[in-house]
Structure 1
Amino acid sequence: MNLNASSTKNWYPVYTQPRAEKKAFQALTDKGVEAYLPLHRQLKQWSDRKKWVEEPFIKSYIFVNIAQHEQADILMTKGISRFLYFMGKPASMPTRQITELKLLMASPYELEITEENLQTGEKIMIKAGPLKGMTGEIVSQRSQKQLILRLESIGCSIIVHVAASYIERF
């Protein structure tokens, strides 16, 4: 086996135990693993109070940047259930997708996530604002357009509401 190939780092989505994302993320960072857990602020209502809390944006998922030989160590981390597989191999993601996901999470746009297999539409690119240069597909045409950014390696799509004036067809 080529030592270089086994030491090259890639981003992998890993599935966590239910509601264990934050603890698993902390355990991974305590081990020195580069990990990413997308969080978004959400207003929670209890019977006696309301409170803003940081919730995982994609339930039961954490992304780790590791070399292939480190996979067993990741699986032995408390809260981690398994790697996601595609065609018999652990699914990996391009660094570009992680960068785009981080950019989305930092944007002022309202985000929602869906696991539906949304219909393919017209290809577009955002030409202005913090998401400038990102590409996607139109889901519907209203006063606001919905841009879908597919993260195929984890089987979900992210819908971002973007003003029509920010969109360019290609």
Structure 2
Amino acid sequence: MIDSTYKWYPLYTRSRAEKKTLEELTRKNITAYLPLKKVMKQWSDRKKIVEEPLLKSYIFVFISAKEHAEVLMTYGVSRFIYFSGEIATIAEKQIEDLKLLLANANDLEVIEHDIALGEKVLIKAGPFKGIMAELVSLKNKRSIVLRLQNLGYSIHINTSMAFIQPLK
């Protein structure tokens, strides 16, 4: 019997091995997602835009429970992320939201700590329409914080306050 209960799982990779890990998982026909951001790097002789992982040492895999061992035996994979004693899963909507954010990433900043709970809002217009977030008064009260559950990361985006509505 084939296990058809596929879910998104966050993985922790070896330091600076995210892209190589993605290659290895893809080579094994495992669906994986590595969120990348474009960053301007400067060397002594030139400047260049390069792609770096949005969340350092994190990669996401879409697998069934039967594939856990195969994933753990992949080059670069350190471990699954646990939350409350169980392997964490990520909702499909959160992966899609992350892809949407990166497609419109004009002003994206990752904070590697949890931010105190704020007012929950829904973005009702603009490039981030449909995304639920937590509002935090930062950067002239124009910053939306999106919390990625089970990861301990938050993402800041800047958008107009006119584009959000409080959730009740």
Same fold (TM over 0.5): yes
Hey, what does 1:21 align to over in structure 2?
Answer: 18
Q: Could you tell me which residue of structure 2 aligns to residue 119 of structure 1?
A: 116
Offset of 1:144 from its aligned partner? 5.2
Q: 1:72 offset after TM fit, Å?
A: 0.6
Provide the identity percentage: 49
Deviations 1:136-165 (A, max 9, x none): 111116555211111121111111111112
1:1-170 equivalent positions in 2, closer than 5 A: 6-140=3-137, 143=140, 145-170=142-167
Against the structure 1 CA distance between its residues 49 and 128, is the aligned structure 2 distance closer, same or farther, given a 3 Å change threshold?
same
Supply the distance in 2 between the matched residues of 1:87 and 1:141 (Cα, whole angstroms): 30
Show structure 1 runs of 5+ residues with no match.
none
Alpha-carbon distance in structure 1 between the residues aligned to 2:105 and 2:86 = 36
The number of residues matched between the two structures is 167
Cα distance in 2 for partners of 1:114, 1:149 equals 10
Task: Find the aligned partners of 1:123 and 1:101 in 2 and give their Cα distance.
Answer: 18
Q: Which amino acid aligns with 2:134?
A: E
Query: Structure 1 residues 154, 108: CA separation in 2 closer, same or farther (over 3 Å shift)?
Result: closer
Distance change >3 Å, CA 165–CA 40, structure 1 → 2: same
Q: TM-score, normalised by structure 2?
A: 0.93
- Secondary structure of the 2:150 match is helix
Deviation at 1:116, TM superposition (A): 1.9
**Aligned amino acid, residue 85 of structure 1:** Y
Aligned-partner residue type, residue 130 of structure 1: P
SS class of match (1:153): coil
3-state secondary structure, aligned to 1:154:
coil
Letter in 2 for 1:94: A
Instruction: Single out whichever of 8-17 and 81-90 deviates more from structure 2.
Output: 81-90
Q: CA deviation at 1:108?
A: 4.1
* C-alpha deviation, 1:42, in angstroms: 0.4
**Could you tell me the TM-score, scaled by structure 1's length?**
0.92
